[in-house]
Amino acid sequence: MTRARIICIGNPYQPGDWVGPAVYAALRREAIDPDIGLIDGGLQGLNLLTLMENVDNVVFADTFISDGAPGSGIPQVLREPFAGDPRLSFDHAGGLAYLLQAAPLVVDRLPRIAVVGMDAGAGRHRVGELARLCLSVARERHHAA
Amino acid sequence: MGERRICEIPMNRVEGDLEIRVAIEGGRIVDAWSSGTLYRGFENMLTGRAALDALVITPRICGICTTTHLNSAAKCLDVIAGVVPPDNAIRLRNVAKLVETVQSDLRQAILMFMVDFANPVYAPHPLYETACSRFAPLRGSSAIETIRETKRIIEIIAIIGGQWPHSSFMVPGGVTNLPRVGELATCRVLVQRFRQWYERRVLGCALERWQAVDSVAALDVWLAESPAHADGDLGWLVRLGRACGLDAMGGGYRRFLSYGVADLPLETAADDGLAGRSFVAGVSDGATMSPLDQARIGESIGASHFEGYEGLRHPFDGVTRPLPPEAPGGKRYSYAKAPRYDGEPAETGPLAEAVVAGEPLFAGWVAGHGANALAREVARLARPARLLPLIDAWLAELIERHDAPFIVNAPKKIDGEGYGLVNAARGALGHWSRVQRGAIVGYQIVTPTAWNGSPRDDKGVRGPWEEALIGVPIRDEGNPVEAGHVIRSFDPCLVCTVHAFDRRGRTGGLRIGA
């Protein structure tokens, strides 16, 4: 069984949604642990539920929209995102939120989940740092599993 | 008559960015403008790239119809390369595309459309409590089951494509791989398991019983025949839809377009139950069907944020030169173009597919009562009853004829022009491509939502769902659920349709913080 998956979310052809695809491209050039799967999740939304099965932990890499909140320019980790959050969003920013709220309802053995990302305005020079953070979170949870 | 007022209709739960503006007079919509607010630009991204790049790039247009865009792009390249894929390639392409269609139909109907019956405006209705318990987002029993079961069936695409998501297994001349017999058998198990759930939860009966429903009168008989029929999701759709008046709103133009449900292998026993009519591309006015001639398709940009020509242009001659958006109320109001067939707007989608195929229930429904929001949605939720047996039949044939070829050699250097027409979940999807010295010099994509959600054309003629909104009663302008029923009955997908900026400067990702 794959112990961890890093699922990169976003559309490489859409300005402002580039962070996840850039992390995917960066990690493809790295030697990743054999039991960590790297997935180009694109815009697949609910279609990614299958990839949350038979795995111990899942790390999503995505663009954060933080409206200039303090610290938004640096890579961040959200643990247990949307747990118990009753809000629903269906706009462009809603796909991952919907997925993460649906997952506990239909995935039999829910993996531990983290979302790692940064604001699109943070700049591409921070992609390497973000990719390493994704790997670190995947490994950390892997070893804790 | 009351005072004429212009209102913005908030449209969430659609794929992509859609704004609807309506004029209301005397409690009814008297005019409507549909605006896709994003510039897509894929056509221009493709220009100058290698011809086969379309197989990788166009599936990225949409997170829902990725396989269908791949199918359309591959068919386009088949034509340019001058190759005919062997039957096993057609079967595999069909299976993958139809699985995507089935999951989309269920998700749109249950997760996007039916949830409106849980709108507080219906609270006084005796069916309201059950509507909430079944269809409320992420809480309703049907909503949760639909997410679970549609998650399973798309595993078939992963098996066929060898990768999930973003497979590019369809190539000019066929497909890259034929799954092993055991894998195909697993696909059949997944289809059969899904069918059992669909029969139990959605239809409340066997597929064969539903397929015998051949008129609106027969629909009433079926509904009253068994508590299981009335209590299935389809039964609830009919009951709730009628209670909310959906069978009397959202008519639109009586002109329907379909590219056919799938390509027919040369040798197949797959039976659509309609003497093969569902595989035929055509245009129908509800009574007479004419075979499709793609040369009669043209796009207008008269009310779109584009420049470059006047009148209609065939997609081979199309150009995509975006303009900045005009202020609200301007002549140009959408980043969708306005496709027309023989110069006229046409509706596409599951209802159009059924009407063009002459499916008795829906052809009769439209002939007798005209198109309406309920008929559109019933056609969508019932479509898997026709598609699931086809999927299973083609999987069985792939096992029986496993030694047959799945690809023919295509020339490595291709030049020329071609088109790929397929029915996506939302209706007619076409790719048109021109290739010179191996590079794309022109690419146009005409999506189902471009047909349905088009703005006005050069002549000022409204698009299909703009027209369908005319006459719709709005009881509460602060909660215009009736307009939502009509628009959602077309299953809008603006992600594909608009030709990326958001006026708020927000275009994707996960929103955090204040």
The whole-number pLDDT of residue A122 equals 84
Q: What is the domain extent for residue B374? A: 5-497
Angle B447-B353-B349 from CA coordinates, rounded to 5°:
40
Is B505 a member of any domain? no
Q: What are phi and psi of A135, to 5 degrees?
A: -60, -40
Domain limits at A66? Answer: 4-144
Does A46 contact B511 at a Cβ distance shorter than 8 Å?
no
Sheet holding B297-300, edge to edge: B312-313, B297-300, B338-341
**The pLDDT value given to residue B507:** 33
Q: What CATH number has the domain bearing residue A71?
A: 3.40.50.1450
In angstroms, the CA B237 to CA A55 distance is 37
E-strand ranges in B386-475 read 416-424, 427-436, 439-446
Residue B502 domain flag: no
Q: Do B165 and A106 touch (CB under 8 A)?
A: no
Q: Considering the domain boundaries, does residue B19 fall inside one?
A: yes
**How far is the C-alpha of B405 from the C-alpha of B399, rounded, in Å?**
13
pLDDT of residue A72: 67
> Which residue of A12, A13, A64 is in closest CB contact with B509?
A64
A63 to B147: CB separation less than 8 angstroms, yes or no: no
pLDDT at res. B509 = 36
Task: Read off the CATH number of the domain in which B202 is found.
Answer: 1.10.645.10
H or E element at residue B451: helix B448-452
Nearest residue on chain A to B156, alpha-carbon basis: A50
ipTM over 0.90: no
Give residues 108 to 127 of A whose Cβ lies within 8 Å of B: 115, 117, 120
pLDDT score at B501: 24
Is B322 inside a domain boundary? yes
Using alpha carbons, select from B95, B279, B311, B297 the residue that is nearest to residue B187: B95
Spell out which residues of chain B touch residue A51, defining contact as CB-CB under 8 Å: 164
Residue B512 falls within a domain, yes or no?
no
| Model pLDDT, residue A93 | 55
Which residues of chain A lie closer than 8 angstroms to B42, CB-CB? 13
pLDDT at B387: 98
Q: Average of pLDDT values for A66-75?
A: 71
Write out the residues of chain B at the interface with chain A, using a CB-CB cutoff of 8 A. Answer: 12-14, 16-17, 41-42, 45, 57, 60, 62-64, 66, 107, 137-138, 144, 147-148, 150-151, 154-155, 158, 164-166, 495, 500-502, 505-514
CA distances from B61 to B64, B161, B275, B349 (A): 9, 18, 34, 19
pLDDT band for position A95 (cuts 50, 70, 90): confident
B121 contacts: CB under 8 Å, gap ≥ 6: B475, B476, B479, B481
Rounded CA separation A95/A5 (Å): 18
Of A10, A88, A115, the CB nearest to B137: A88
Neighbours of A83 (CB within 10 A): 10
pLDDT at A86: 52
Quote the percentage of chain A above a pLDDT of 90.
48
Cβ pair A13:B60 closer than 8 A: yes
Look up residue B187 and give its amino acid: C
Is B514 among the domain residues?
A: no
User: Which position has the higher pLDDT, A13 or A144?
Assistant: A13
pLDDT score at A65: 76
pLDDT on residue A68:
65
Six-digit token string for B240? 């709730």
A97/B155 CB distance under 8 A: no
Chain A residues touching residue B62 (CB < 8 angstroms): 43
Q: How many domains does chain B have?
A: 1
The alpha-carbon gap from B509 to the nearest alpha carbon of chain A, in Å, equals 4
Give the DSSP per-residue string, A57-101.
EEEEEEEEE-TT-TTTTS-EEEESTTTT------SGGGHHHHHHH
Measured distance CA(B281)–CA(B292) in Å, rounded: 5
Provide the strand spans (E) within B144-222: 170-171, 174-175
Q: Regarding beta strands B256-258 and B282-284, do their DSSP bridges make them parallel or antiparallel, or are they unpaired?
A: antiparallel
Residues lower than pLDDT 70 in chain B: 1-2, 12-16, 494-514
Q: How confident is the model at residue A84 (pLDDT cuts 50, 70, 90)?
A: low
Chain B positions touching A19 (Cβ under 8 A) are 509
Check if A65 contacts B (Cβ < 8 Å).
yes
CB pair distance less than 8 Å for B513 and A102? no
Query: What pLDDT is stored for residue B65 in this prediction?
Result: 86
Query: Is B506 a member of any domain?
Result: no
Give chain A's domain count.
1
| Contacts with B508 from chain A: Cβ below 8 Å | 10-11, 14, 16-17, 63, 65, 92-93
Q: Is residue B511 part of a domain?
A: no
| Chain A residue with minimum CA distance to B505 | A16
State the nearest Cα–Cα gap between B450 and chain A, in angstroms.
19
Beta bridge partner(s), residue B340: B298
